[in-house]
Amino acid sequence: MKISHPDIDKKVCTGTHAKAKDAHSSQTTFDRDAAAQPNTAQCSGLTAEGGKKFSDFAKDVGLKDNKNWPTGKYTTSSAGKEGDTSSNAKAVAKDLVDLKHGEKTIVAGLLAKTIEGGEVVEICLSTST
C-alpha cells in the first residue's frame, strides 16, 4: 500500500480510537516492544491523528515477524502493557470499514494477491440501488 496507494496508507492505523485509557499521554511512535514512552505497538493507538501510516505500523511493530498480531502493546506511565485481546485486529478492521467503497475494493485486491497457499476463485462486487 505504501507505494501503490499512499492515500490508503495514510488512513489505516493512523488514528486515536484504539488508544487504551491507561496509555501514556504521549503515544507517538510505533515500536515492536512498546516498553518505553512514547512507543506503542497498537494500531490507531496514537495520541494524535495522522502522524503515522499503516506501512510504518506494519514495519515498526514487527508484523512481518509475527509480532503484535492480533493483539498489540502500548506504554503506560510506568511500563509496557499488552492490549486487549485482538486489539490490533479490531483496530485494523475498524479502519478498513471506514474506508470509501473504492478504497475497500483496492484493499481487497491487495489482500487477494498476498494470500499464500490459497486460491482466489472470484471476487465480485455487488451494489444495491
How many independent structural domains does the chain possess?
A: 1
Is the residue at 68 inside a domain? yes
Domain, as residue range, for 81: 6-99
**Domain annotation covers residue 48:** yes
Contact residues for 34 (Cβ-Cβ < 8 A; gap 6+): 40, 41, 42, 61, 72, 73, 74, 75, 80, 81
Residue 21 lies in a domain: yes
- Please tell me the pTM assigned to this model: 0.83
Look at residue 35 and tell me if it is in a domain. yes
Q: What is the pLDDT of residue 2?
A: 67
Q: Going residue by residue through the chain (129 aa), what tens digit of pLDDT does each one get? A: 666 889 999 999 999 999 999 999 999 999 999 988 899 999 999 999 988 999 999 999 999 999 999 999 999 988 999 999 999 999 999 999 999 999 999 998 888 776 654 554 444 444 554
- Give CA separation, 22 vs 15, 51, 77, 83, in Å: 17, 21, 8, 10
Which pLDDT belongs to residue 123? 46
In a domain, 111, yes or no: no
